[in-house]
């Protein structure tokens, strides 16, 4: 494996880590942001919904931009915008300023998420073995670090800008330096791997992606259920203490990190189809345990299972979309497919929390937990969509050789 690929892999992993830190610092300090700007409870959902909606717009725009601009360049400049937008959220004092900062954050994060995953998918294709879960493990690690920094800021009653400024001051120059080693795929070098498909048209039929779009949506419905309702559920439904109610999400994040760290080994050994099926079944079991838990500690076991199960679905969905588009239409279509699929990340996020809340209020929160369980189980039906053209690669799902991905983006 060339030094170019190794540097590209390390720099992209750091980008995932940085985004994990950034996003956690934003979402875990929402109460402090609300208090700083005087955002009412009635208006807060509109602000929160605007971010994923604009991120979806950013992802759609990225699908068109990558026809003219390499994904590495989009990532190189969108990540600094996300970091500076976070600082803008912490430093402002007027609601109009908050709106502008969150709008910039949403649009940039859509381009960031799409371009990061484009590079991850193409690097995995170049390596010839599963590595994409490792990038998402770096994101999970960043989320744990960001949440810990947010806890420290809240514990010491630091102003938001005081919490955010050191993080941005460290990460911003680091990602700009690291962006020198992002690796783009060179279509001419990989066309042979596609069976002579050439560079591709850059388009892919939505019908091809539909099963994967559903899986992505259902996975994020499950993820947003844990993010938004685990604390309330443990305390109000399972009778846990206020302190104990803070634990499930941390447990979920840690088990997500663990599952993604070892997940690539499972894909290499057993294939993506088996790993996705197992992940969906474990996640469904987790929701069943949460719904039927007699007390807080059994509920904690359910959230542990959810982390181990859900963690593999999103990375493998991106990988499958890029692979199928590449096999059918060439590498240009791979980037377009990843950008289009990324939109359903935000669709699931927007649907999940309101859906569980409405069902919990109208029915019961135990019953509401069964809905994401059923949706995650649908992934088992679509698991065959994760199979490559040949379900087995050489020697434990490995490709016989890697691809020359050309120069790093700094050499463009």
Q: Give me the CATH number covering residue 261.
A: 1.20.1250.20
404 in any annotated domain: no
pLDDT tens column, 252-268 = 999 999 999 999 999 99
What pLDDT tens digit does each residue of the chain (412 aa) get?
Answer: 588 999 999 999 999 999 999 999 998 888 899 899 999 888 888 888 899 999 999 999 999 999 899 999 999 999 999 999 999 999 998 999 999 999 999 999 999 999 999 999 999 999 999 999 999 999 999 999 998 898 889 889 999 999 999 999 999 999 999 999 999 875 334 433 433 333 444 566 677 789 999 999 999 999 999 988 998 899 899 998 877 887 888 889 999 999 999 999 999 999 999 999 999 999 999 999 999 999 999 999 999 999 999 999 999 999 999 998 888 877 678 999 999 999 999 999 999 989 999 999 999 999 999 999 999 999 999 999 999 865 433 334 444 444 433 334 443 3
Q: How far is CA 32 from CA 27, 142, 399, in A?
A: 10, 21, 49
- Are 268 and 155 members of one domain? no
What are the residues facing 139 on neighbouring strands?
none
- Are 173 and 194 members of one domain? no
pLDDT at 82 (0 to 100): 98
CB 263, CB 315: distance < 8 Å = yes
- Are 34 and 116 members of one domain? yes
Q: How far is CA 172 from CA 23, 71, 84, 104, 137, in A?
A: 14, 19, 8, 16, 21
- Are 163 and 230 members of one domain? no
- Are 197 and 172 members of one domain? no
pLDDT at 206 (0 to 100): 72
Q: Provide the terminal-to-terminal Cα distance of the chain, rounded to the nearest Å.
A: 21
Contacts of 361 (CB under 8 A, 6+ apart): none
Query: Residue 59's domain spans which residues?
Result: 1-177
409 in any annotated domain: no
pLDDT at 375 (0 to 100): 96
277 in any annotated domain: yes
CB 182, CB 119: distance < 8 Å = yes
70 in any annotated domain: yes
- Are 229 and 130 members of one domain? no
200 in any annotated domain: yes
- Are 287 and 206 members of one domain? yes
- Are 198 and 144 members of one domain? no
pLDDT at 390 (0 to 100): 52
pLDDT at 409 (0 to 100): 42
- Are 358 and 220 members of one domain? yes
- Are 300 and 252 members of one domain? yes
370/269 Cα distance (integer angstroms): 32
- Are 22 and 126 members of one domain? yes
Contacts of 221 (CB under 8 A, 6+ apart): 348, 351, 352, 355, 372, 375
The domain total for the chain is 2
CB 276, CB 383: distance < 8 Å = yes
399 in any annotated domain: no
171/149 Cα distance (integer angstroms): 14
């Amino acid at each position: 494996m060339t030094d170019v690929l190794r540097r590209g892999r390390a720099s992209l992993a750091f980008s995932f880590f940085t985004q994990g830190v950034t996003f956690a610092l934003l979402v875990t300090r929402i109460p402090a942001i609300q208090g700083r700007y005087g955002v009412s409870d009635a208006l807060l959902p509109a602000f929160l919904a605007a971010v994923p909606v604009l991120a979806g717009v950013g992802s759609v725009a990225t699908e068109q931009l990558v026809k003219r601009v390499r994904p590495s360049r989009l990532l190189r400049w969108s990540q600094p915008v996300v970091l500076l937008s976070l600082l803008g959220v912490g430093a402002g004092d007027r609601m109009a300023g908050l709106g502008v900062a969150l709008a910039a954050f949403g649009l940039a994060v859509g381009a960031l998420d799409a371009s990061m995953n484009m590079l991850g998918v193409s690097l995995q294709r170049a390596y010839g073995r599963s590595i994409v879960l490792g990038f998402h493990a770096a994101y999970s690690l960043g989320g744990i670090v960001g949440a810990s920094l947010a806890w420290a800021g809240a514990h010491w009653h630091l102003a938001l800008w005081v919490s955010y400024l050191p993080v941005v001051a460290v990460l911003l120059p680091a990602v700009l330096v690291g962006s020198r080693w992002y690796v783009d795929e060179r279509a001419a070098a990989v066309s042979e791997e596609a069976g002579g498909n050439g560079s591709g048209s850059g388009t892919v039929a939505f019908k091809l992606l539909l099963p994967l779009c559903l899986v992505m949506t259902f996975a994020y419905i499950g993820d947003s259920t844990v993010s938004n309702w685990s604390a309330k559920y443990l305390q109000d439904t399972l009778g846990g203490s206020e302190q104990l109610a803070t634990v499930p999400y941390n447990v979920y994040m840690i088990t997500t990190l663990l599952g993604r760290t070892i997940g690539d080994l499972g894909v290499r050994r057993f294939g993506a189809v088996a790993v996705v099926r197992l992940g969906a079944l474990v996640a469904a079991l987790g929701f069943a345990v949460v719904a039927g838990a007699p007390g807080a500690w059994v509920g904690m076991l359910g959230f542990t299972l959810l982390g181990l199960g859900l963690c593999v679905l999103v990375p493998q969905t991106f990988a499958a979309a890029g692979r199928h588009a590449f096999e059918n239409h060439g590498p240009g279509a791979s980037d377009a497919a990843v950008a289009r699929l990324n939109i359903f990340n935000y669709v699931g996020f927007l649907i999940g929390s309101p859906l569980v809340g409405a069902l919990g209020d109208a029915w019961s929160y135990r019953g509401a937990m069964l809905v994401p369980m059923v949706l995650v189980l649908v992934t088992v039906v679509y698991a065959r969509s994760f199979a490559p053209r040949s379900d087995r690669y050489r020697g434990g799902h490995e490709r016989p050789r890697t691809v020359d991905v050309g120069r790093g983006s700094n050499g463009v």
